[in-house]
Structure 1
Amino acid sequence: MKALTRSFRQLLQYPSAIAGILLILMLVALSVYTLFAIPYDEAVRLWRGGEEVWGETPRTARPVWTNWFTPDKKPETIVINSALEEDGIEKDVEEVGTDMWDIGMVFEFDYPYDGFPQEMIVFFTADYEEKNPFVSMTWETPDGRQFRMSDTDLAPAGSYRFDQDNRLARRLPEGLSPQVALFAVPESDPPTSLKGTYRLYVDGIVFEEGSDFEAKLVVYGQVHGMGTDHRRRDLTLPLLWGTPIALVFGLVASLGTTIITMLIAAMGVWYGGLVDDLIQRITEINMLLPLLPILIMVGTFYNRSIWT
């Protein structure tokens, strides 16, 4: 015990050793947190999930922290759901005729960013028996301009994608996608974002008593979490689960190389002579080789194809 305490005190004299110990402890703590916070089955479900899991995240987005180092602030994803009380969307319901009720909602949000969204989608869920609700939408910019979207009837679950609305595209400046034109300063070249408060007016008609619908506006940003891939998956998940896997690989590799080295050294001592000389020469060559540059070159020039 005294020898262990003495060795630990000697180790504390080296700042690099302290930093290494703290780093390993941090990674171990992160691994333990990951195993409890995101169990393996849940991690697999999330990673294999599609739009039903990652429908609110943008594609190939940069990490949020990149905004800390650039003067231009890239837009983050904005999600407003009428079904959630905390989002504060109030429904204005009014009976306008026999078996006809008008349901109005206003989605209001601030846009302080310098860039433009990747895409914009409104997700709908409707509750009805036979007659589909009918919905119209209007977009209002901070300077008071309004753009009318195509009217649509609702299925039990569906979505409206701004960039697929040909009627809306004809009302916008030629050559600009809706997610750019709806946020751009008028007649700016190149387009620059107009900062301020935007509103989306959703006005629906239901034809059955008790029928209702909910809407969720998703304005997909250019930055999100720790980044996303082409399938909208948040890279926080593989980063977290990669930590315990990497630690296990590192532990197995370090133990394996240590045991193999001890066995090879024992063989050299046991047999001696030519075997010992051969092991020593191989050890000297291994010590002289610049391992990291060689690995980098192999990774750079290696190709799966046998032709190139």
Structure 2
Amino acid sequence: MVNTTTAIFAALATALTLGVLGWVLWPLWRRPRGPLLASTLALGLAVLALYRLVGTPAALQEAALAAPQTLEQAVVQLAGELQRNPAQPEGWALLGRSQAALGDHAAARDAYARAVQLAPDQPALLVDAAEARALADPQRRFDEQAVAWLRKALELHPGHSRATWFLGVWQRQSRQPAEAAATWASLLGSVDADTARSLRVQIDQARAEAGLPALPESAAAPVDAPHALTVNVALDPEFAARARLRGDAVVFVIARVPDGPPMPVAVERHTVAALPLDVVLDDGDSPMPTQTLSMLQEVEVFARISTGGSAERDAADLESPAVRVSLPASGPVHLLIGGQQP
């Protein structure tokens, strides 16, 4: 009994480590892998250390020969455990990640489907399951079920980046390039500059297929995004000459609840060198998915030059006068830093 239990633990620990490895290697846009792989290895060691602290180390040593020696064996053992105790959505998700990492995309698709049956309201799981269905398709296409899961994920978590990206992929696969371009454009305000440049290439290709011109440089979201708010930010020239601001100083464009908490409902980060600039704030710019622009009828909009580069306000920071705006806005909001508000 001890040997069996320990072997099952080893299988689950191995699958957990493998699952995390798969997760960190498949973000929407790839990043340098060294730190991520080191973190994954650290997690695996932490799992083992935790077991040695609270488990039964002697039993672990006794069962060493019974523990799986390969990833394939670990997956087989995890699948067997789930057959005996199937009401474990996390276990099915781990099995799906592990099977996908081993190249068995059909099995991964089925494992994720079981996980979604047990936990149908988890956006990240819905997106993973949709991706698994596409990977299992010979042409890597998102089918009707996968698209339904993506749309549900976006209902539960508006602005979910991977769900938004995959929905755009499906739209382009379905010969809806204009819709794909608009969907992907909603991500521009929530990614870093390097990612935005790569994403704009995909957007412009889709727009070209639709017979549309390239996306304007100032565009950060589609104009028909729910409650999207166009904001023009400028710096008073006389003030700029006196203040001698550094070009790399950080500028935050912020929308928040009027007379409410200081936490923004939408925010974008830029630099003084980019002023004057036009941005589009939308749900993708929200740091809190539980409160987005599309949920509000009125916001307070302002711009802040941060002396320390932090989003938290400092006494030395410079702000434009705040402007109250009813949503959806009838036109752009103009903000002036260091001068009289227009």
TM-score > 0.5, shorter chain as reference = no
Question: Between Structure 1 and Structure 2, which shows a larger proportion of helix residues?
Answer: 2
Question: Between Structure 1 and Structure 2, which shows a larger proportion of strand residues?
Answer: 1
Higher relative contact order (CA 8 A, sep 6+): 1
Larger-gyration structure (1/2): 1
- When normalised by structure 2's length, the TM-score is 0.20
